[in-house]
Chain A
């Protein structure tokens, strides 16, 4: 291709490119104009500026596309367009373009003609400026003008919405103090290892239990107060017209922000629902063998597998065991850990396994080992979660394991015997220095409860319930021999074959003293009483080993000691009729429903009713902050309050309707249907007469 031809081709390409982007600018301008018109027409809604921006971009894209499609037809004949605007070409550019486009023409025409055409056309193109041929000024002006107008419409979209809700209008206009911005930074507890999150103007906040909430309110009002389920407190003023406060999210509730009144106008009120997600305890279970094992010998290896999971993250997974050896009241308990091989699928889900050889425990016949998996998460102070406990026992010659060791996992893991009470008391004394006073007292009271259980078992075994046992307060140290001697029936029943009964009574009294001491966290004084009780038990059952819950049956109850007395003393038992209290939830929700009805019945629904709607939302949340249905009702009421502030009464009324129907639906669950309209006396009497007639023997009236 000759240089002249190349020059002509470049010229034409340059012209086509210019024409294309001019068309694109025109299309964009048209798209922006359409977007502006839509925005002015109120679509999208005022409080959705992001959608408005997206819509503008979409309109521009569509406009450009359409315009380019139209232009593409014209650019096919770019040489004609140029010729049309630059007459000096005298059709030579068209000819040159055809020669460039059609090779057959070039070969058909004489060379000198082709050279002449290209040379002439090239010379002419050098004298022509494409920018002059296709001026872009008009297109650019249109584009920028449309852009400015669209931005203006966009500003109008966002600014008034913000202003109606959040701009503080001062005295000149006499407006209500409102919120400019409400930012809440949710800082999860450190152990959760989650980043802080900031939400703006949120209607509801979801936070992990223990999270710290940092509120920052920007407003022109002189002060801001905050109300939660725990009470009200003011926000501290900060820089930039902001007020700040911190609180800890520990339970479902709400945050009600109230602006101080100004210029005789009540301040706006904003309700933010608070949902607190608790940090659940880890879940742990033994997946293999996941059953009790009865072993012939203590030389055994258990293939053990366990799984643990947590909603945030696991901290540890262990296998704990308790070896129980001995018999009767001479049990020995040894606790320990088994190292596990842990596979961490992720921070929240672990599996573990171990081939646990029981050889090291030196289990003798009749011994047993109770084991369970224990998992913890990172929450400080959180108790460890335990799996179900399983037993591996080595069969004793001629006997089976006491069934009492396989208790409900929600109850104590194994039967509580007096020996166990002593062991726990000793451990508590040993750990006293590492425990807080409250924890120590609580642990002592737990042991006291166990001590009472043991005591109750023995009291019951003796033919009476706990109340029938000798009163430890009245006769803690002395045994009333005379009273005991009157228990001839007991002797006759064979319950005092030897002096065991006296020993048993002494044991019960020792247990009572121990329990009394433990209840007041006097652990050290309790221990001698516990040991004395054990000694008395051993004396009483020297030939009959007793392990609680391993007893196959209780002794027969002495019925003569129950509900006995003189018939002459029996009187009619009279009490007043039951008067059930009103359900406070129903009462509160009913009051809220009445409040909504009262608000909806207001003649003028305007901004002054906004506080009422917000207050109702607060009342609803106060009933049960964790109830999802009530949370939804509160949110609808809050949006109704916002609608009232904006002055859109019809919108507010629709939202009040929805709040009422939703609240009624929540309340409906707590009430039964009223009976249907009963029939009148005449109908009832006719029914009765008909029944009488149907049942009367034939022939009778």
Chain B
């Protein structure tokens, strides 16, 4: 065999080998380096899009970039100065943040908060935090506007170059319904101003509360009369005056151990709780844990009884003060009580927080305090004879109890809680909703199987649009996200599930102003807790390296099929063609 023939045989052999190998298609397992997947999330769609584009460009060479949240990604890059909305999913870790930097203004509204569902017969407190830059010696004016009208206004002097100023404004609702409000802050004499919008959904709702006295109690009687004078409550009461004999107002439940009967109340106020039976205390415990309601115990005397299971108190201290002393709210409110006979736990049970106390020379005695029991709240009052001093000139007895019971009743969760991340949005803005079904969320631990369903719809005057919901992190919780309509106006989000429904307003405005909180520290902590770091926009070039260093993409075992590469066609064709060419030249073909 000459050399030419040997070459032809070799070429033919190569072709045959390739063909045979392709037919066999062998699988090979080997360790290989893969391109990491990075999720890029925007904290504020409207403000961070340009920066987000720059982030994607920086990463696209070394990483697979996934726009938006993606839990299976190797890491997340948050673009913006704020945390992602609370309702959004937990991002893939580690998380790096690229902060765009807050533009410099003389004044900025950092936070605005107000009750989202205030009752009609109340004033709506609007708490504002304003940050003033380089305005020392000047006056900051903060005003609250409803439509065209200024409804409240406050001025504060700035005493430092960089100062956070807290202002408390209030809005007085005039009718039920969604009311957009705008907070405007400006430095007197300067052109800079800052604005923030908020929405309050005023409702003419009344909180159902139950007064239950296992025996007649003066304290409970006068608290009940104070609450009965307040239009925000529907008061049902039962005062047991003798065995099987009671004085009822409304339609109280037949027994305290019947959760179905109790669940229609947001709060239960118990006078003379030492008269409660063990069965009744069990019922209250169930009400606290399964309904999430509040129980307020108005002690006549620190006597032992089954109710101690709710308070967790082991030792009571009682003292008669002469003259009577002021019982001051712990939140600094000026409306307090007076009492001469006091009882307080020693020590305060674990997890309990004081609501009102008596200031001694050395320390304070928590006379009225509360403690969580399940999802509910227990309030205990040791101001035993506060009802003696209920005259307006002596104390704020009526206002105190009305305020406290209103707070407790409003804290009781509704059957369906609908939360909207932002109620005033710009057209097309991504908005998150969260739905919690109370009965499912607070189910008994023994419940073997829970089946819940929920739906949400965005409703306008002319159209309805379903919002896709996904199961949340807990049982009975659902989450969804949707783009706000492009047309400005007032919309409603209707949610339904497990036989109950709820709705919330959504206002779309061309220019919806938001508070611009300084979340630097929070963002830094949040990101650090997720294994990342905060980088400024000028440090964007170092992001790929930081990601690589943190992710450290290691090689991985992969099963691959080498013969499935199209490149095999090339040597196969070349070998056959060369072999054919050589035979042709020898006139063999």
Question: Does B124 count as interface, using CB distance less than 8 angstroms?
Answer: yes
In chain B, positions 364-381 with a C-beta closer than 8 Å to chain A are: 371-377
Q: From residue A637, how far is it (CB to closest CB) to chain B in Å?
A: 13
Of B118, B372, B419, most buried by chain A (CB within 10 Å of CB) is B372
Q: How far is the CA of A681 from the CA of B407 in the complex (A)?
A: 15
Query: Is the pair B376, A688 in contact by a Cβ cutoff of 8 Å?
Result: yes
Bound complex: CA A664 to CA B237 (Å): 35
Q: Across the interface, do B170 and A681 meet the contact criterion of CB distance under 8 Å? A: no
Given contacts A586-B121, A685-B442, contact A691 B113 (CB under 8 A): no
Please name all residues of chain A whose beta carbon is closer than 8 Å to the beta carbon of B174 when the two chains form the complex: 590-591, 593-594, 597
Chain A residues 582 to 604 lying within 8 A of chain B, measured CB to CB, are: 582, 586, 590-591, 593-594, 596-597, 600-601
Whether A691 lies near B351 (C-beta < 8 A) is yes
Q: Which residues of B contact A675 (CB under 8 A)?
A: 115, 403, 406-407, 409-411
Give 1 or 0 for each of A682-701: 1 = CB within 8 Å of chain B CB: 10110110111011000000
Interface pair B349/A695, CB less than 8 Å apart: yes
Chain B neighbourhood of A692, CB < 8 A? 374
With known contacts A668-B123, A680-B417, A688–B374 Cβ distance under 8 A: yes
Which residues of chain B come closer than 8 Å to A687, judged between CB atoms? 351, 372
Contact partners of B249 in chain A: CB under 8 A: 574-578
Q: A673-B125, A681-B438 are in contact. Are A601 and B147 (CB under 8 A)?
A: yes
Would A573 and B248 count as touching, CB distance under 8 A? yes
Whole-angstrom distance between the Cβ of A276 and the nearest chain B Cβ: 27
Known pairs A674-B123, A681-B375; A660 contacts B351 (CB<8 A): no
Report if A681-B147 is in contact (Cβ < 8 Å); known contacts: A578-B249, A673-B125.
no
Tell whether, in the assembled complex, residue A679 and residue B411 are in contact, meaning their CB atoms are under 8 Å apart: yes
Partner of B406, one of A653, A672, A688: A672
In the complex, what distance in Å separates the CA atom of A243 from the CA atom of B146?
42
Q: Cβ of A688: which chain B residues have Cβ within 8 Å of it?
A: 288-289, 372-376
Residue in B229, B312, B350 whose Cβ sees the most chain A Cβ within 10 Å: B350
Tell me if B245 is interfacial: C-beta within 8 Å of chain A: yes
Q: Considering the chains assembled together, what is the distance between the CA atoms of A664 and B181 in angstroms?
A: 15
With an 8 A cutoff between CB atoms, is B271 at the interface? no
Is there an interface contact between A667 and B375, defined as CB atoms closer than 8 Å? no
A1 to B436, CA, bound (A): 118
B410 touches A678 (CB 8 A): yes
Contact with A along B227-243 (1 / 0, CB 8 A): 01111001111000010
Contact with A along B95-138 (1 / 0, CB 8 A): 00000000000000000011110110111110000000000000
Interface centre among A577, A600, A676, A690, by most chain B C-beta atoms within 10 angstroms, is: A577
Let me know if B148 and A661 touch, CB within 8 A: no
Contact of A673 among B228, B288, B371, B403 (CB under 8 A): B403
Is A657 an interface residue when CB atoms closer than 8 A count as contact? yes
Q: Which residues of chain A are near B412, meaning CB under 8 Å?
A: 678
Given that A577-B235, A691-B351 are contacting pairs, would A660 and B150 also be in contact in the complex, using a CB cutoff of 8 Å? yes
**B350 with A691: CB separation less than 8 A:** yes
Across-interface contacts of A597 in B (CB, < 8 A) = 146-149, 151, 174
Q: Is B247 an interface residue (CB 8 A)?
A: yes
Q: Taking the complex as formed, is A5 at the interface, i.e. its CB lies under 8 A from any CB of chain B?
A: no
Verify A575–B248 contact, CB threshold 8 A: yes
Look across to chain B and name the residue whose beta carbon is closest to the beta carbon of A574.
Answer: B248
Cβ–Cβ < 8 Å partners of B374 in chain A: 684-685, 688, 692
B441: Cβ under 8 A from any A Cβ: yes
Taking CB atoms and an 8 Å cut-off, the chain B residues in 461-516 that contact chain A are: 474, 477
CB <8 Å contact, B351 and A676: no
Asked if A672 and B407 make an inter-chain contact with CB atoms under 8 angstroms apart, the answer reads: no
A673 to B375, CA, bound (A): 24
Partner of A674, one of B115, B377, B411: B115
Q: Does A231 contact B (CB under 8 A)?
A: no
When distances are taken between beta carbons in the complex, the residues of chain A under 8 Å from B410 are 674-675, 678
State the interface size on chain B (CB cutoff 8 A). Answer: 71
Taking the closest CB of chain B, its distance from the CB of A247, in whole angstroms, is 34
Indicate if A671 sits at the interface (CB-CB under 8 A).
yes
Q: Residue of B at shortest CB range from A570?
A: B245
- Are A657 and B149 in touch, CB under 8 angstroms? yes
Whether a CB of chain B sits under 8 angstroms from the CB of A656 is: yes
Interface flag for B250 (CB, 8 Å) = yes
Q: State whether the Cβ of A193 lies closer than 8 Å to any Cβ in chain B.
A: no
Residues of B within 8 A of A653 (CB): 148
B122, B150, B229, B402: which has the most chain A beta carbons within 10 Å? B150
Q: Which chain A residue shows the least CB distance to B147? A: A601
Q: Is there contact, CB below 8 Å, between A601 and B413?
A: no
**Complex Cα spacing A680 to B409, Å:** 14
B292 within 8 A of A: yes
> Bound complex: CA of A676 vs CA of B376, how far in Å?
16
Does chain A have a CB within 8 A of B152? Answer: yes
Cβ of A674 to closest chain B Cβ, rounded Å:
4
Q: Taking CB as reference atom, which chain A residue is nearest B238? A: A572
Contact B442 A694 (CB under 8 A): no
CA distance A695 to B371 in the complex (A): 11
Pair A656/B149 contact, Cβ less than 8 Å: yes
A565 at the interface (CB under 8 A from B): no
> How does the 8 Å CB contact mask read for B395-437 relative to A, with 1 for contact and 0 for none?
0000100110011011111000101000000000000000010
A241: shortest Cβ distance to chain B, in Å? 39
Task: Tell me the bound Cα distance from A464 to B288 in angstroms.
Answer: 48
Interface pair A593/B172, CB less than 8 Å apart: yes
Q: What B residues does A576 contact at CB under 8 A?
A: 249-250
Does B175 belong to the interface (CB within 8 Å)? yes
Is the CB of B246 closer than 8 A to any CB of chain A? yes
The distance in angstroms between the C-alpha atoms of A574 and B245, with both chains bound, is: 11
Contact A661 B151 (CB under 8 A): yes
Find out whether the CB atom of B152 lies under 8 angstroms from the CB atom of A664. yes
CB distance from A206 to the nearest CB of B (A): 30
In the complex, are the beta carbons of B372 and A691 less than 8 A apart? yes
Given the complex of chains A and B, what is the CA–CA distance between A672 and B124 in angstroms? Answer: 9
* CB contact list, B245-295 vs A, under 8 A: 245-250, 288-289, 292
How far, in whole Å, are A318 and B147 apart by their CA atoms in the complex?
65
List A residues 646-662 near B (Cβ within 8 Å): 653, 656-657, 660-661
Distance, CA A239 to CA B153, complexed state (A): 49
Alpha-carbon gap, A657 to B148, bound state (A): 9
Once A668-B170, A691-B372 are accepted as A-B contacts, the answer to whether A661 and B153 lie under 8 Å apart by CB is: yes
A590-B172 contact in complex given A672-B399, A675-B411, C-beta closer than 8 Å: yes
A681 touches B250 (CB 8 A): no
Q: Could you say which residues of chain A place their CB within 8 Å of the CB of B402?
A: 672
What's the Cα separation between A580 and B121 when bound, in Å?
12
Is the CB–CB distance between B125 and A674 below 8 Å? yes
Q: Cβ of B438: which chain A residues have Cβ within 8 Å of it? A: 681
Asked whether A667 lies within 8 Å of B149 as measured between CB atoms, the reply is no
Q: Which residues of A contact B474 (CB under 8 A)?
A: 682
A677 in contact (CB, < 8 A)? yes
Q: Which of A571, A582, A682 has the most CB of B within 10 A?
A: A682
Which chain B residues border A572 with CB–CB below 8 Å? 245-248
* Chain B residues within 8 Å of A577, by CB: 234-237, 249-250
Nearest A residue (CB) for B114? A677
Contact A695 B350 (CB under 8 A): yes
Residues of A near any B CB (own CB < 8 A):
570-578, 580, 582, 586, 590-591, 593-594, 596-597, 600-601, 653, 656-657, 660-661, 664, 667-668, 671-682, 684-685, 687-688, 690-692, 694-695
Which residues of B come within 8 Å of A, CB atoms? 113-116, 118-119, 121-125, 146-153, 170, 172, 174-175, 228-231, 234-237, 242, 245-250, 288-289, 292, 312, 349-352, 371-377, 399, 402-403, 406-407, 409-413, 417, 419, 436, 438, 441-442, 474, 477
18 new A-B contacts, CB < 8 A, other than A577-B236, A593-B151, are A570-B245, A572-B247, A572-B248, A574-B247, A577-B249, A597-B148, A661-B152, A661-B153, A671-B123, A673-B403, A674-B125, A675-B407, A680-B436, A688-B372, A688-B376, A691-B352, A691-B373, A695-B350
9 contacts between A and B (CB under 8 A): A586-B121, A594-B175, A597-B146, A597-B149, A597-B174, A661-B153, A673-B125, A680-B417, A681-B441
5 A-B pairs closest in CB distance = A691-B351, A694-B350, A577-B250, A674-B118, A594-B174
